[in-house]
Structure 1
Amino acid sequence: MKRTRSFAVTAALLTSSVPLGLLTVGAGTAQAAARTYFVSPGGNDGNPGTSARSPFRTLQKAADSAAPGDTVSIMNGTYSERSAGSNVLTVKRSGRPGAPITFTAHPGHRPVIHPVKAWNGISVLGASHIVIKGLEIKGNNSALNLVGAERAAKKGDPTYNTNCVSIERNRSTGDLSHHVEVVGNKVHDCAGGGISAIDADHVTISGNHVYSTSWYTVYATSGISVLTPRDVGGGDAKTYKIRITGNRVHDNETKIKWERCRCYSDGNGIIIDTLKGDGDHPAYRGRVLVSDNISYDNGGSGIHSFKSQHVDIVHNTAYLNGRSTRMKSYANIFAHDSTDVRLLNNVAYGRPGQATNSRSRNVDVTYDYNVYFGGKAPEVKGAHDVVADPKFANAGTGANADFRLEKGSPAIGTGTPFAAVTRDITGAGRSGGAPDRGAYAFAPDTGEGAQGGSGDATASPAQEGTAPTTGEQSGAPDSAPTTGTEPPAGTENGTGSDSGLSADGGSGPLAETGGSDPVLPLGIGAVVLALGAGLLLLVRRKRS
């Protein structure tokens, strides 16, 4: 039996076109072919679930059935939790490199995941190699109100604390979530956070439309938040492991006091939180890229780094954030109490009297090549920062506000090349020379910016590049927002790196783009095949 098994494995290695990662050498057989599981509210969990004619009824049944490489195809209908306090979908089973488990809408369908009294619409709980793509996650804000929340919102009750999508550690097993992609989803109206990643690593949040979240929770959440990530497989400050790219984020605000301090806090568009570590969390050693996002009309900041390190906030557009009247206004795009953070090629249009950026408690934080307008004078102004009207096509606070650049904008052709970001929010390529600042690349042939920009299209992954020039460094103490946690428990985040920046406009090495799933090099593949050939020869000799 052993010889037969060895021969089968060797033959598979030598002749199969299946990637080597899909073969189980010890078992002597290849992994089963990837399956698609179908889900419909009209289905039955007693069905096989392997065809559109016999779908499962619940998302959970499909999730508990899926194996690496499988797809859960979600058909039209509305999906809610089976009981109060549960999640609509809890993902605990993992995929593996090159074979993720994918949860997506069935072609041509528009299912809605609708948490009502759930902690989360979708919870990735200690799972890895997961893709959540093209779904609508809609919370229950329409059935709630501020008066009710002020009276009844509390810890331990999910009614006013429901998150749309949560990626977190499994506190029972200690397993960390990693290699998770949340791409091209519509995420809105959850009383708690929009998309959060806590104690996770290798996370991509790209091309999502996130709005009207965080209104009623007591946990001080935001539209998109990354909190206390944990290094999985090591990390260094020159390799991106977390990417927040190409999202459209607006109307997220906390209207209820954070239970921890009995104060109002957060409600940001995008926050990178506590990557420097604290007494309960180690410092995160990887690098984070925040690029090509549009963040506007949020209660807190548009985008900011808090107690974090090794973060690049590049080519984003922020407009009239800091709208909350319940707390001191946050700046549009800034870093606070952070180290090795670069804020470059951004466009920030502030409210009257609003802080433009911050130098508070920062070390090795660079602001440069940004366009500022409205609000107070910048606390930190890089050599190439500009204070001028960016001339948006049709700015506003609605879902379809247009932040493309009009002809004559000071943002056109005045940025600094940043090789990690070669495309804009629509996927259009940036010029080979000085790029346009902000999330949109200007299209001179039409006299306006590239079409699109709802944030629903996936932005291109970062490419390896070189570092841009520096502006001034920050570093003065001040008070700043503290960040809350996502229920039922939470934490905060942190990172660090050699910037490779030079004050005279020169460039140095920037963070490399670390691929989510390593590809087997050809050289290694050749060695494996050679070993397989040797094994085949040995088996034949033994037989003879």
Structure 2
Amino acid sequence: MKRTRTLALTAALLASSAPLGLATMGAGTAHAAARTYFVSPGGNDGNSGTSTGAPFRTLQKAADSVQPGDTVSIMNGTYSESSAGSNVVTIKRSGLPGAPITFTAHPGHRPVVHPVKAWNGISIHGASYISIKNLEVKGNNAALTLAGAERESKKGDPTYNTNCISLERNRSTGSLSHHIEVTGNEVHGCAGAGISAIDSDHVTISGNHVHGTSWYAVYATSGISVLTPRDVGGGDPGTYKIRITGNRVHDNESKIKWEKCGCYSDGNGIIIDTLKGDAEHPAYSGRVLVANNLSYDNGGSGIHSYKSQHVDIVHNTAYANGRSTRMDSYANIFAHDSTDVRLLNNIAYGRPGQATNSKSRNVDVTYDYNVYFGGKAPEVQGPNDVIADPKLTKAGTGADADFRLSTGSPAAGSGTPFAAVTTDFTGASRAAGAPDRGAYGFGAKSNGVQADASTTASPGRQSDATAGSPPVSPSGTQATDATEGGSGPKPHSGSGPLAETGGSDPVLPLGIAAGVLALGGGLLFAARRKRS
């Protein structure tokens, strides 16, 4: 719950968005002579790198060769840092609007970025218009132990502090990472953060599977974290510039004390951190969307906003978070010390004794249309919140867990329309009118990871949920895109105002056209967070 800050060597990933919410990086002027560079562990950095027969050997050589519009096609094999304390790859070269630089798996291949004693697997260091997709970033947790971390983890040593994917500003030049997409990746086993974005803007983190991170770091990291973003090109509370959508996040936990306070902290699934600004960082003016995520069995919270503003946390499913016995249990989905935050259409299924939500130091924070079950009674309850078993298909913390809605679920057909989120976790269209609460729409055909919460899946990660006819809701009505007016939530007629905590002014609806919002994509961020 506390604010986190990055280590000097972490990097930041950011995703694109346009004045009305999220223009894709495909808009604009295309790079005239875009190339594809190939990388293979069997290659040679003296090669041209422009064919599969003459690939580069290292990701760094490719990153130092690319120009706007280029693609780095990564072939089968394992890629580690060249020396202890470096990154596996540091991306400093930028793309352009309409000509991003893309790092992706070669078609049909499954390369592994494997940081061992690196600060970061992938570091985006003051670069812009970058896409990281369909890669596996695998840390070294399997070779480490808790006892070893308790003895040896410390500041300045990357062994127990490695981040998987990190976005941040370039401290030498001051340039910020922005217009970054992190989509469709598997990110796991890093001692530090999973995906972290610090001092960044226009970031999309979408369709990633982030698990087993943050165990041994002394920097109080989390699975996915956004810390102190900086406005690039201005910003307003009615425009989404950061989107965290359609991710599966679990088994992230801080098992080592945070060096700042000598206490245990964080290890959250997803955290939006310090957007209200502080003595060292200006307040962030843009809006953040956290939607259609599955967050379960994390040490800290499932999803929360801390010292933040202009955040929408909608249509997520959180299950059995707050598992850490080293600290007071965080709630499943909540806001703390935040302003202008909406928490709507979520399912929060808690552990016994776990906090459900929070009204602490909040102003203009709205909780409504959520389903709560297990844990303690909510500190604040909206007029349309429900305390009942959501009847998930197979709730659990194992690989076979299935968080789709079963027949008779109180989450089915009982939510409030939110035009910025027109599909569910699988990419299936949400019903017009009263949508289903939680990450899944009722009748979802697959429980697999989906790349994007508001459009279709990214290449290589598409589920079967978008094939065929839309799912049928319990009322028998086929689901269609919820595109009627505006992007803000609309309470059912006669239901009264949405509940708020800490303030009497209503939360203003977003002034974003639903059709534009439906184009939004998701990015993944990784960054080491250090608390103050």
- For normalisation by structure 2, the TM-score amounts to 0.84
Opposite residue 141 of structure 1, the aligned amino acid is: N
Counterpart of 2:448 in structure 1 is 454
Counterpart of 1:123 in structure 2 is 123
Counterpart of 1:424 in structure 2 is 424
CA distance in 1, matches of 2:271, 2:63: 29
CA contact (8 A) 1:413 1:434 kept: yes
**Any idea what the Cα deviations from partners look like across 1:81-121, whole Å, max 9, x if unmatched?**
00000000110000000100000000000000000000000
Q: Secondary structure at the match of 1:21?
A: coil
CA separation of 1:51 and 1:294: change in aligned 2, threshold 3 A: same
Tell me whether 1:471 sits opposite 2:479 in the alignment. no
Counterpart of 2:255 in structure 1 is 255
**Any idea what the Cα deviations from partners look like across 1:42-64, whole Å, max 9, x if unmatched?**
00000000000100000000011
CA contact (8 A) 1:237 1:511 kept: no
Tell me whether 1:48 sits opposite 2:48 in the alignment. yes
Opposite residue 256 of structure 2, the aligned amino acid is: I
Tell me whether 1:286 sits opposite 2:265 in the alignment. no
CA distance in 2, matches of 1:20, 1:356: 45
CA contact (8 A) 1:251 1:296 kept: yes
CA separation of 1:420 and 1:74: change in aligned 2, threshold 3 A: same
Q: 1:21 aligns with which of 9, 29, 35?
A: 29
CA distance in 1, matches of 2:32, 2:75: 24
Counterpart of 1:205 in structure 2 is 205
Counterpart of 2:112 in structure 1 is 112
CA contact (8 A) 1:400 1:454 kept: no
Q: Secondary structure at the match of 1:44?
A: coil
**Any idea what the Cα deviations from partners look like across 1:210-232, whole Å, max 9, x if unmatched?**
00000000000000000000000
Aligned identity (percent) is 76
CA contact (8 A) 2:425 2:450 kept: no
**Any idea what the Cα deviations from partners look like across 1:336-382, whole Å, max 9, x if unmatched?**
00000000000000011111000000000000000000001110100
CA separation of 1:98 and 1:516: change in aligned 2, threshold 3 A: farther
**Any idea what the Cα deviations from partners look like across 1:475-503, whole Å, max 9, x if unmatched?**
39xxxxxxxxxxxxxxxxxxxx98325xx
CA contact (8 A) 2:331 2:357 kept: yes
RMSD: 2.0
CA distance in 2, matches of 1:233, 1:426: 32
Q: Secondary structure at the match of 2:384?
A: coil
**Any idea what the Cα deviations from partners look like across 1:266-287, whole Å, max 9, x if unmatched?**
0000000000000000000000
CA contact (8 A) 1:500 1:510 kept: no
Opposite residue 460 of structure 1, the aligned amino acid is: S
Runs of 4+ in 1 over 6 A off after TM superposition: 514-517
CA separation of 1:19 and 1:427: change in aligned 2, threshold 3 A: closer
CA distance in 2, matches of 1:103, 1:375: 42
User: 1:452 Cα deviation (Å)?
Assistant: 2.7
Q: Secondary structure at the match of 2:226?
A: strand
CA distance in 2, matches of 1:306, 1:199: 16
CA contact (8 A) 1:103 1:132 kept: yes
Opposite residue 206 of structure 2, the aligned amino acid is: S
Structure whose residues are more often helix by fraction: 1
**Any idea what the Cα deviations from partners look like across 1:131-163, whole Å, max 9, x if unmatched?**
000000000000000000000000000000000
User: 1:474 Cα deviation (Å)?
Assistant: 1.7
CA contact (8 A) 2:426 2:450 kept: no
Tell me whether 1:143 sits opposite 2:126 in the alignment. no
- For normalisation by structure 1, the TM-score amounts to 0.82
User: 1:511 Cα deviation (Å)?
Assistant: 8.0
Q: Which ranges of structure 1 fall in alignment gaps of 5 or more residues?
A: 1-17, 23-30, 444-449, 477-496, 502-507, 518-544
CA distance in 2, matches of 1:516, 1:124: 21
User: 1:516 Cα deviation (Å)?
Assistant: 8.2
User: 1:461 Cα deviation (Å)?
Assistant: 4.7
Counterpart of 1:329 in structure 2 is 329
CA contact (8 A) 1:340 1:498 kept: no
CA contact (8 A) 1:209 1:454 kept: no
CA contact (8 A) 2:291 2:315 kept: yes
Counterpart of 1:7 in structure 2 is none
CA distance in 2, matches of 1:217, 1:377: 33
Tell me whether 1:67 sits opposite 2:67 in the alignment. yes
CA contact (8 A) 2:28 2:98 kept: no
Q: Secondary structure at the match of 1:148?
A: helix
CA contact (8 A) 1:499 1:510 kept: no
Counterpart of 1:222 in structure 2 is 222
User: 1:460 Cα deviation (Å)?
Assistant: 2.4
Opposite residue 459 of structure 1, the aligned amino acid is: A
Larger Rg: 1
User: 1:418 Cα deviation (Å)?
Assistant: 0.3
CA contact (8 A) 2:140 2:191 kept: yes
CA distance in 2, matches of 1:187, 1:320: 21
Opposite residue 508 of structure 2, the aligned amino acid is: G
Question: How do 1:33-432 and structure 2 match up within 5 A?
Answer: 33-432=33-432
Higher alpha-carbon deviation: 362-371 or 391-400: 391-400
CA contact (8 A) 1:185 1:456 kept: no
Opposite residue 500 of structure 1, the aligned amino acid is: L
CA separation of 1:81 and 1:52: change in aligned 2, threshold 3 A: same
Opposite residue 255 of structure 2, the aligned amino acid is: K
CA contact (8 A) 1:240 1:511 kept: no
**Any idea what the Cα deviations from partners look like across 1:173-204, whole Å, max 9, x if unmatched?**
10000000000000000000000000000000
CA contact (8 A) 1:381 1:472 kept: yes
Q: How many residues align?
A: 460
CA distance in 2, matches of 1:44, 1:394: 49
Counterpart of 2:470 in structure 1 is none
Opposite residue 215 of structure 2, the aligned amino acid is: W
CA distance in 1, matches of 2:313, 2:341: 8
Q: Secondary structure at the match of 1:149?
A: helix
Q: Secondary structure at the match of 1:352?
A: coil
Higher-RCO chain (CA-CA 8 Å, sequence separation at least 6) = 2
CA separation of 1:94 and 1:182: change in aligned 2, threshold 3 A: same
Counterpart of 2:507 in structure 1 is 499
User: 1:33 Cα deviation (Å)?
Assistant: 1.6
Opposite residue 465 of structure 1, the aligned amino acid is: S
Q: Secondary structure at the match of 1:72?
A: strand
CA contact (8 A) 1:87 1:119 kept: yes
Opposite residue 74 of structure 1, the aligned amino acid is: I
